[in-house]
Amino acid sequence: MTSVVNIAAYKFVSLDCLPELRLRLLDEAAQAALKGTILLAEEGINLFLAGSAEGIDGFLGSLRADARFADLEVKFSRSGAVPFRKLLVKVKREIIRMDHPAIRPEAGRAPGVDAHTLARWLEQGVDDAGRPVVMLDTRNAFEVDEGTFTNAIDWRIERFTQFPAAVQAHRAELEGKTVVSFCTGGIRCEKAAIYMNEAGIPNVYQLDGGILKYFEETGGPGYEGKCFVFDERVSLDPALEPSVALGV
């Protein structure tokens, strides 16, 4: 059975009174019997939670009642058991650490490409302007080893804070091409695309919703292997089935 609903979501939005917000979300998630992690920072929210469909719906309803999260976009998958051992709500300096405070997605995100458009580009080999399309994996090397897009650029970074230096060292690889940055759920490639745009690299896009939304909407054409996830499922295949069958 796959009775447990798993959600992943993030939003770059200015937040204040973080200790109070932390306690409120901790209480709401606990009341809904959810487990997983919620990260809060002045730049926004990032969450990975699991529980019953009723619990997830109730929590999302409460969260979206806050105007700052009203348009929160969520990625869904299912599993046979909850893949998290406890509930954590943490206040951090960044919801995804890059150590480049000038990169503020809330002030204006880089252009995005949706899953169906990307699938078409990959089948064509070029974008709608006729430029070659290259996929740029912004994840850590151990995540890439679980699976990635065919012929994706992989700079073997060990943590996301190394990404800016890798761009500067390898930017010649990107010249004359349409670059689509991607990651698990979209949060890293959003910052990555902004950084590359501000570094003067043209024709850079981010994959909206990341690999998980691409799997959810297209079934994963052009992707080889599985997508690593940071919970007890270990990784998900393009049908969003986990490597480890929880609850069996």
Q: What is the pLDDT of residue 109?
A: 80
pLDDT, average across residues 90-114: 87
Residue 4 tokens, joined: 């447990």
pLDDT, average across residues 72-78: 94
Residue whose entry in the numeric block shows the structure tokens 């690999």:
211
| Catalytic machinery residues | 183
Q: What is the pLDDT of residue 247?
A: 61
pLDDT band at residue 67, thresholds of 50, 70 and 90?
very high
pLDDT, average across residues 232-239: 96
44-48, 206-210, 213-217, 243-247: segment of lowest average pLDDT: 243-247
pLDDT band at residue 229, thresholds of 50, 70 and 90?
very high
Q: What is the pLDDT of residue 2?
A: 67
Residue 1 tokens, joined: 């059975």
Distance in angstroms (rounded) separating the CA atoms of residues 228 and 131: 30
Is the confidence at residue 4, as pLDDT, over 90?
yes
Q: Give pLDDT tens digits for 148-159.
A: 999 999 999 999
Question: Residue 80 to residues 35, 48, 185, 241, 242: CA-CA distances in angstroms?
Answer: 14, 16, 21, 10, 9
Q: What is the pLDDT of residue 150?
A: 98
Is the confidence at residue 195, as pLDDT, over 60?
yes
Is the confidence at residue 102, as pLDDT, over 80?
no
CA nearest neighbour of 18 among 99, 124, 91: 91
Domains detected in the chain: 4-91 (3.30.70.100), 105-236 (3.40.250.10)
Distance in angstroms (rounded) separating the CA atoms of residues 208 and 198: 19
| Phi, psi (rounded to 5 degrees) for 148 | -165, 175
pLDDT band at residue 108, thresholds of 50, 70 and 90?
confident
Q: What is the 3-state secondary structure (H, E, C) of 102-164?
A: CCCHHHCCCCEECHHHHHHHHHHCECCCCCEEEEEECCCHHHHCCEEECCCEECCCCCHHHHH
Residues 106 and 15: beta-carbon distance below 8 Å:
no
Is the confidence at residue 58, as pLDDT, over 90?
yes
pLDDT band at residue 101, thresholds of 50, 70 and 90?
confident
Is the confidence at residue 118, as pLDDT, over 70?
yes
Residue 48 tokens, joined: 């990975």
In angstroms and rounded to an integer, the radius of gyration of the C-alpha atoms of the chain is 18
Is the confidence at residue 245, as pLDDT, over 90?
no
